[in-house]
């Protein structure tokens, strides 16, 4: 019994041990975590309540030149949006809610970031911390990205199957449905991945989406995919190509016609595309070709959420999400007075640039495979086999018509081939017959090398990009370590990366 009081007594704190009161422990933990994040992350900065940058650590300073900032003095004291494009720090400051994991893409690259609000004792937001957790996520997070990509493909396949089942169940009802999902947008290049990421985000919003890009890049396919991934997926998807309809009929196509509106009009009236898309998505293709006389009425429909059919005095409330697309330069048309500025800003809420095929050449082999399989199914014949030299020649072309032109060339080559095999010679003939002088394939761009060595170099460069980047990084690290006598701190400074990144890269090869 005499031991009981002794057991209940707290032992005296050891020298240099933890503080005894909770407030001091929390303060110590906060300081330790701050220093830990500052040293282990790729970079970190602080912004005050107004969004002005007030502090930046050494790691973040290496990103400043890529951001177009000449010096730290030009970075500090500026609003965070002015010096870090596409940042969402303002939302954290306004809501007080942290963003633990996010992808940030701007001219400096793509980064995995975290944004944490800072609160005072009263719980009010007084600032925020921005942390770059990983740079070059395509290499540092490759295992995680690969796993996510597989899960995303499985999810897209499941959505596509559900959409097909829904379409079969609703066949005969006249309900219009999306025909494509994000799985239909073929490509795993950085450009294709980024456009799909932006489109997936846009799908969760109800704001207008503006798809910008050259003809044949897949804007309509993306519009279908955005609808299929949105909360409106069960509603109708209605498309309208403005360039394909005479100006005199566009108003009736948009807003419908009241019964007996004019001589020869249907006595029962006719619903327009806005009415047909009620509760779903209206896709307006080639919005840049819309006549000026109709732009004001479209603007009103978007702003007020209501339409007035032709020949009617009644306003019909509607719930429609608009996705527009154009291959024309809308800002230039606004400056020239050819497109209403207020309508442009109403549509330009969630702009997504769809890259041309020449900016994602790494996707061409996958596109060739998918398009060939589709051609085989349509024609009830096995798809052609493509030689490596044919694929290299395809990857070297400009493709001004983008995927639409690529498909046309593939179909012609498949029809001309007697053996079911397409090589570079046959493909060159098809391109020349179409009035295109083929650009030399990758193997022909190294005339100083023996043919077999050039082919090896071609195959080496056609490997996945993340593998090539990782090899180049390891070569640079090995060279810098040798130049600095194995000093890792000097190596990290010379390569302008943090020590944490250097250790991680070294561990990957251990």
Both tokens assigned to 170: 């609703």
pLDDT at residue number 449:
35
Is 382 within 8 Å of 417 (Cβ atoms)?
Answer: no
Angle value at C-alpha 421, between 418 and 426, nearest 5 degrees? 75
Mean per-residue pLDDT, 15-19: 62
Mean per-residue pLDDT, 283-293: 93
pLDDT above 80 (res 278): yes
156-160, 238-242, 284-288, 416-420: least confidently modelled range: 156-160
How far, in Å, CA of 2 to CA of 415, rounded?
99
Identify the CA nearest to 430 among candidates 474, 393, 480, 385.
393
Both tokens assigned to 104: 């940030």
What's the distance, CA 380 to chain centroid? 35
Can you tell me whether residue 12 is helix, strand or coil? Answer: coil
94-108, 161-175, 207-221: least confidently modelled range: 161-175
DSSP bridge partners of 119: 125
How far, in Å, CA of 149 to CA of 160, rounded?
16
Mean per-residue pLDDT, 469-491: 78
How far, in Å, CA of 448 to CA of 445, rounded?
9
Q: In what order do the strands lie in the sheet with 99-106?
A: 53-56, 43-48, 125-135, 109-119, 99-106
DSSP bridge partners of 135: 111
Identify the CA nearest to 50 among candidates 130, 129, 127.
127
Q: Can you spell out the DSSP letters for 450-464?
A: -HHHHHHHHHHHTS-
Is 217 within 8 Å of 354 (Cβ atoms)?
Answer: yes
The structure's pTM equals 0.56
Average pLDDT, the chain: 81
Q: What is the CA radius of gyration of the chain?
A: 29
pLDDT at residue number 284:
95
pLDDT at residue number 145:
65
Identify the CA nearest to 196 among candidates 164, 162, 153, 141.
153
Per-residue confidence at 444, pLDDT binned at 50, 70, 90? very low
15-19, 129-133, 212-216, 285-289: least confidently modelled range: 15-19
Identify the CA nearest to 83 among candidates 111, 110, 106, 114.
106
DSSP state at residue 438: P
pLDDT above 50 (res 453): no
Q: What are phi and psi of 437, to 5 degrees?
A: -80, 115
Is 112 within 8 Å of 139 (Cβ atoms)?
Answer: no
Can you tell me whether residue 283 is helix, strand or coil? Answer: strand
Count of alpha carbons within 13 Å of 85, Cβ hemisphere only?
12
Is 442 within 8 Å of 396 (Cβ atoms)?
Answer: yes
Both tokens assigned to 362: 């790494």
Per-residue confidence at 157, pLDDT binned at 50, 70, 90? low
Q: Can you spell out the DSSP letters for 206-262?
A: -S-EEEE--TTSSHHHHHHHHHHTSTTTTS-EEEEEGGGS-HHHHHHHHH-B-TT-S
244 or 465: which carries more pLDDT confidence? 244
């Amino acid at each position: 019994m005499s031991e009981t009081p002794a057991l209940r007594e707290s032992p005296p704190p050891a020298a240099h041990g933890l503080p005894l009161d909770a407030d001091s422990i929390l303060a110590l933990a906060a300081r330790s975590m701050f220093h830990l994040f500052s040293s282990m992350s790729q970079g970190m900065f602080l912004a005050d309540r107004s969004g002005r940058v007030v502090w930046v650590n050494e790691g973040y300073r290496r990103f400043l030149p890529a951001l177009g900032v000449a010096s730290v003095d030009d970075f500090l004291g500026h609003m965070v949006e002015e010096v870090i494009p596409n940042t969402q720090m303002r939302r954290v400051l306004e809501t007080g809610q942290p963003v633990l994991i996010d992808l940030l893409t701007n001219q400096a690259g793509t980064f995995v970031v975290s944004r944490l609000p800072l609160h005072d004792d009263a719980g009010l937001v007084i600032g925020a911390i921005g942390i770059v957790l990983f740079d070059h996520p395509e290499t540092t997070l490759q295992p995680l990205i690969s796993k996510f990509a597989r899960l995303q493909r499985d999810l897209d396949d499941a959505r596509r199957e559900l959409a097909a089942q829904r379409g079969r169940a609703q066949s005969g009802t006249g309900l219009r449905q999306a025909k494509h999902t994000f799985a239909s947008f073929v490509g795993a290049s950085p450009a294709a991945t980024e456009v799909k990421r932006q489109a997936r985000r846009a799908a969760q919003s109800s704001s207008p989406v503006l798809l910008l890009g050259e003809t044949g890049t897949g804007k309509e396919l993306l519009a279908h995919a955005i609808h299929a991934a949105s909360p409106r997926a069960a509603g109708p998807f209605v498309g309208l190509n403005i360039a394909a309809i005479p100006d005199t009929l566009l108003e009736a196509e948009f807003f419908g016609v009241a019964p007996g509106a004019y001589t020869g009009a249907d006595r029962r009236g006719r619903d327009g595309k806005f009415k047909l898309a009620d509760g779903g998505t209206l896709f307006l293709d080639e919005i840049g070709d819309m006549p000026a006389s109709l732009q004001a009425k479209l603007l009103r429909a978007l702003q007020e959420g209501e339409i007035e059919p032709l020949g009617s005095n009644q306003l019909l409330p509607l719930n429609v999400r608009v996705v527009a697309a154009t291959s024309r330069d809308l800002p230039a048309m606004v400056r020239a007075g050819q497109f209403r500025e207020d309508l442009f800003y109403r549509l330009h809420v969630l702009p997504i640039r769809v890259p041309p095929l020449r900016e994602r050449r790494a996707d061409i082999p996958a596109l060739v495979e998918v398009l060939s399989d589709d051609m085989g199914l349509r024609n009830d014949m096995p798809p052609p086999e493509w030689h490596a030299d044919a694929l290299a020649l395809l990857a070297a072309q400009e493709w001004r018509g983008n995927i639409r032109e690529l498909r046309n060339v593939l179909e012609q080559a498949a029809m001309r081939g007697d053996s079911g095999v397409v090589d570079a010679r046959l493909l060159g003939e098809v391109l020349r017959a179409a009035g295109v002088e083929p650009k030399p394939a990758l193997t022909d761009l190294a005339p100083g090398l023996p043919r077999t060595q050039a082919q090896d170099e071609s195959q080496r460069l056609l490997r996945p990009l993340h593998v090539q980047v990782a090899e180049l990084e390891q070569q640079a690290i090995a060279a810098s370590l040798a130049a600095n006598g194995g000093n890792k701190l000097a190596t990290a400074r010379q390569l302008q990366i943090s020590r944490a990144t250097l250790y991680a890269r070294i561990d990957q090869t251990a």
